[in-house]
Amino acid sequence: MGGESTTRTAPHSGGGTGTAPAGGSRLGHRLSGVAVALGLVLFLGGFAWAAVSYRPYTVPTSSMTPTIDAGDRVLAERVDGGEVRRGDVVVFRDSSWVTGSLVVKRVVAVGGDTVSCCTDGKLTVNGKQIQEPYLPKGSLAENQNFPTVTVPRGRLFLLGDERQGSLDSTAHLTDAAKGTVAADAVRARVDAVVWPWKGMLGRPTGFETLGPLSQPGPLRTIGLLIVVGAVLVLGGGAYGPIAKRAGRSRARAAGTEAPGVR
């Protein structure tokens, strides 16, 4: 009526201080930054832990088939001889076996044990027949019998899993040490075959009745840290771009839905 204008402007939705920034909330950005920082710590820490605890080796022969094939790449935990248990696959150096090279074999007897073969085709340690599921299917514990050997304290008796062609303790029975190797010659214990990927070595069965077995190394924990760290870094880093895109989408939607000038 009269001179009153009929033109009205649509009210603004929300105040200038109540809306979140187009690139996401401040809290979201802070949390994403924390996620990236924590992820980097876990990721790099996992690799650092692995570098300190493990060494990679390439196994050149088939003497440990089928557990480890020729050319396989393994990760071995750094241990000393005092940590070695029956059934462990170890990396060691003994110049009386091979000059200048490392050797990978399985420990079947430790200091104080007696070991012989074969009774009913099976290895005997301390008078007990050992079930060896890691041997190739259908193979015997040894090609030929060998007499009882008493392993001196501080030494190890080692065999390959492929007994047909493995140059192991049985090939050195006439040596002064009767085929045994000093425990302090051990450099590492194999935990996993990583290339081609075969995963963690299973704990050896058959030796439980003779004493405790070694526990798995920290490789699974290290792998978990690296994976979780990578997820946090990627997720935290992706928050900003995703939040910006979501903010632009909301802004466009608000622009199309806002009432015009009437």
Residues 186-220 as b/e (b if ≥16 CB within 10 A, e otherwise) read bbbbbbbbbeeeeebbeebebbeebeebbebbbbe
DSSP, collapsed to helix, strand or coil, labels residue 190 as: strand
Same domain? For 243 and 129 the reply is no
Same domain? For 209 and 234 the reply is no
Same domain? For 37 and 158 the reply is no
Same domain? For 42 and 134 the reply is no
Same domain? For 162 and 231 the reply is no
CATH code for the domain in which residue 186 is found:
2.10.109.10
Active site annotation includes 25:
no
Same domain? For 75 and 197 the reply is yes
State the residue range of the domain holding 231. 26-50+223-253
Q: Is there a domain that residue 171 lies in?
A: yes
| Sequence-distant (≥ 6) Cβ neighbours of residue 35 within 8 angstroms | 232, 233, 235, 236, 239
Q: Is there a domain that residue 5 lies in?
A: no
pTM of the complete model beyond 0.75: yes
Same domain? For 115 and 171 the reply is yes
pLDDT for 243 equals 72
pLDDT for 235 equals 87
DSSP, collapsed to helix, strand or coil, labels residue 196 as: coil
Q: Is there a domain that residue 20 lies in?
A: no
What's the gap between Cα 123 and its chain centre?
Answer: 30
**Exposure on the CB side of residue 245, measured as CA atoms within 13 A:** 5
Active site annotation includes 63:
yes
Distances (CA, A) of 1 to 5, 9, 10, 208, 262: 8, 19, 21, 101, 17
Q: Is there a domain that residue 1 lies in?
A: no
Same domain? For 99 and 150 the reply is yes
Write out pLDDT tens, residues 198-242.
Answer: 999 988 788 999 999 998 899 999 999 999 999 999 988 887 787
Which residues are paired to 194 by β-bridges?
197
Number of domains making up the chain: 2
Write out pLDDT tens, residues 5-60.
Answer: 444 544 444 444 444 454 567 887 888 899 999 999 999 999 999 999 999 999 99
CA distance 142 to 242: 63
DSSP, collapsed to helix, strand or coil, labels residue 183 as: helix
Q: Is there a domain that residue 12 lies in?
A: no
Write out pLDDT tens, residues 162-205.
Answer: 998 889 999 999 999 999 999 999 999 999 999 999 999 988 78
Same domain? For 128 and 232 the reply is no
* Active-site annotation holder among 32, 62, 63, 166: 63
Same domain? For 112 and 197 the reply is yes
Same domain? For 235 and 111 the reply is no
Please state the length of the chain: 262
Q: Is there a domain that residue 88 lies in?
A: yes
Write out pLDDT tens, residues 108-159.
Answer: 999 999 999 988 889 999 999 999 999 998 888 887 789 999 999 999 999 9
Same domain? For 88 and 125 the reply is yes
Q: Is there a domain that residue 158 lies in?
A: yes
* Active-site annotation holder among 105, 166, 169, 214: 105
183, 189, 182, 186: which is closest to 88 by C-alpha? 189
Q: What DSSP element (H or E) covers 230?
A: helix 219-257
CA distance 122 to 130: 6
CA distance 72 to 246: 48
